[in-house]
Structure 1
Amino acid sequence: MTEARNDTVRLAKRLAAEHGLSRSTAEQYIEGGWVTVDGKTIEVPGARVAPHQSVVLAPGASLFDLVPVTLLLHKPPGFEAGLGMAAGAAAHGSRSQGARAALTLLSAASHMAGDAAETRVLLRHFKQLECFTPLPTEASGLVVFTQDPRIARKLAEDIETLEQECIVEVAGQISDHGLQRLCHGLSFNGRPLPPIKVSWQNETRLRFALKGIRPGQVPAMCEAVGLRVVALKRIRIGRVPLAKVPEGQWRYLQAWEKF
């Protein structure tokens, strides 16, 4: 029976020794996608390498590119995305039976083809992500996951004042003056609602643009004027649109985009 090798070492330790680096710097180069083992990029500092294996640090490797990222996901219905947590049911109560966390959709395989950001996809981009843009499990559309503390703070503090745009598919017959009432004149949870921009996109779809949206608010508004919500899709938060991201895929927030 062949004995298991016991002469392997952690990739970070090997890289640090061969290039005179600190262990933490070696780990950053590895997580930045700058290190190959036998010609294959390895992004896990704890990977084990044998003495005969070739470990190469890419020429021109830089740590300046290791900046926090923000991912814009087109969440399909049936996935949870909640406030301040990746699994995300905090804003809507306990987890719905059978629902999965929207975070599980984020991987290199689900990255949108043709992403204009042209950022190298790294394993580190899927770690320590926070979500401050809750969206009901049954809804679809734009959800933001970020590693950037500045964007996290912006969303946490300003989500109530950022305008959100949603496309709502409805069924039923709207009551007389129903559109005007949707724009101004309804209440929710016993409180009058502020003016809201609502318009018809076509015979079955309404466009809502509103701030400080509450869970259940849009369905309750539609019911008040004789309509039933069939589907809800969020297409914009502040100045950042979902754009052409296919359902179940994501793109990077570009440096010039601001909420």
Structure 2
Amino acid sequence: MTDAQEGIRLAKRVAALAGCSRREAELLIENGAVRIDGEPALLPQTRVLPEQRVEIEPGARPEPVVPVSLLLHKPAGTPTDNAHRLLVPANHHAPERAGLRFLPRHVAGQRCMTALETGASGLVVFTQEWRVERRLHEDAAILEHEFMVDVEGAVGPETLLRFDRTPARVSVSQRGEGHTGLRFAIKGPQPGQIANLCTQAGLRIQSMKRIRIGRIPLAGLLAGQWRYLLPSEKF
């Protein structure tokens, strides 16, 4: 089959149009600066036919895509090892999606820095940024995490006193029929640690959600949604 029939790689077409190397063409594409018949083209390996119109955004430069960090609301029941599969455009938080351009490179090589047990939901951090990775790794033991934990039955003052000798600060956030909502604030938690603390206090967990890591809240993200960590946000 000839090139006229099956098309050629987009990167080759862009290199010819821009008079640049194939690698520079790939960078232009990965940065979202290329369109095919008016539609964004983000994959260098895309095949284009001779009659298709390929355009390069004026002033675009072939620079590497800037590394990013992503904040995901992991649903309960999803193992952390599989949570990266939720980092797709359809799950991008809608209010942010309108102002920020998603690029496939943004999810390539993302590393999960804040593991969460399978049965729990809540905030999980993925990053490509070495500064964020270093911060979450080096300060892991002193970075405070906040969880909302629903337990069966009523929780009285005597039970709360049992947590005074643990690393967690625990308070009642709400009381309902047949259950109690507890707020846990704990530095450097390990997966399973809060469940163990509750078991030792004679409490049975119904649900657990991480709502904050350091100064970064879960706020606004529905289960399965993700957003970008903004440059102004610090853990």
Q: TM-score, normalised by structure 2?
A: 0.90
| SS of 1:30 mapped into structure 2 | helix
Partner in structure 1 of residue 65 of structure 2: 66
Partner in structure 2 of residue 13 of structure 1: 12
Over 3 Å counting, the alpha-carbon distance change for 1:231 and 1:160 in structure 2 is: same
Once the 2 structures are TM-superposed, how far is the Cα of residue 218 of structure 1 from its aligned partner? 1.1
Amino acid in structure 2 at the alignment position of 1:6: D
Once the 2 structures are TM-superposed, how far is the Cα of residue 70 of structure 1 from its aligned partner? 0.9
Superposed CA deviations along residues 4-40 of structure 1, whole A, max 9, x for unmatched, are 4434321111111221112211101101111011222
The question of whether the paired residues in 1 share the 8 Å contact of 2:74 and 2:223 is answered with yes
Amino acid in structure 2 at the alignment position of 1:107: V
| SS of 1:155 mapped into structure 2 | helix
Over 3 Å counting, the alpha-carbon distance change for 1:117 and 1:6 in structure 2 is: closer
Residues 113-124 of structure 1: matches in 2 within 5 Å? 113-115=94-96, 118-124=99-105
Q: What is the Cα-based RMSD across aligned positions, in Å? A: 1.9
Would you say 1:225 and 2:201 are equivalent positions?
yes
Residues 40-51 of structure 1: matches in 2 within 5 Å? 40-51=39-50
Partner in structure 1 of residue 191 of structure 2: 215
The question of whether the paired residues in 2 share the 8 Å contact of 1:173 and 1:227 is answered with no
The question of whether the paired residues in 2 share the 8 Å contact of 1:166 and 1:208 is answered with yes
Partner in structure 2 of residue 201 of structure 1: 173
Once the 2 structures are TM-superposed, how far is the Cα of residue 117 of structure 1 from its aligned partner? 9.2
The question of whether the paired residues in 2 share the 8 Å contact of 1:235 and 1:241 is answered with yes
The question of whether the paired residues in 1 share the 8 Å contact of 2:113 and 2:137 is answered with yes
Partner in structure 1 of residue 125 of structure 2: 144
Distance 2:40 2:156 in 1: 61
Task: Point out the more displaced range, 227-236 or 31-40.
Answer: 31-40
Q: Which has the higher helix share?
A: 2
Would you say 1:240 and 2:216 are equivalent positions?
yes
The question of whether the paired residues in 2 share the 8 Å contact of 1:133 and 1:159 is answered with no
Distance 2:185 2:61 in 1: 43
Gaps of 5+ in 1: 82-87, 89-100, 186-192
The question of whether the paired residues in 1 share the 8 Å contact of 2:170 and 2:183 is answered with yes
Distance 2:122 2:143 in 1: 16
Aligned sequence identity (%): 48
Over 3 Å counting, the alpha-carbon distance change for 1:69 and 1:52 in structure 2 is: same
How many residue pairs end up in the alignment?
229
Over 3 Å counting, the alpha-carbon distance change for 1:155 and 1:173 in structure 2 is: same
Once the 2 structures are TM-superposed, how far is the Cα of residue 176 of structure 1 from its aligned partner? 5.5
Once the 2 structures are TM-superposed, how far is the Cα of residue 66 of structure 1 from its aligned partner? 2.6
Q: TM-score, normalised by structure 1?
A: 0.83
Partner in structure 2 of residue 85 of structure 1: none
Distance 1:63 1:105 in 2: 29
Distance 2:57 2:26 in 1: 14
Distance 1:231 1:36 in 2: 46
Amino acid in structure 2 at the alignment position of 1:29: L
Identify the match of residue 92 of structure 2 among 93, 108, 111.
111
Once the 2 structures are TM-superposed, how far is the Cα of residue 119 of structure 1 from its aligned partner? 1.9
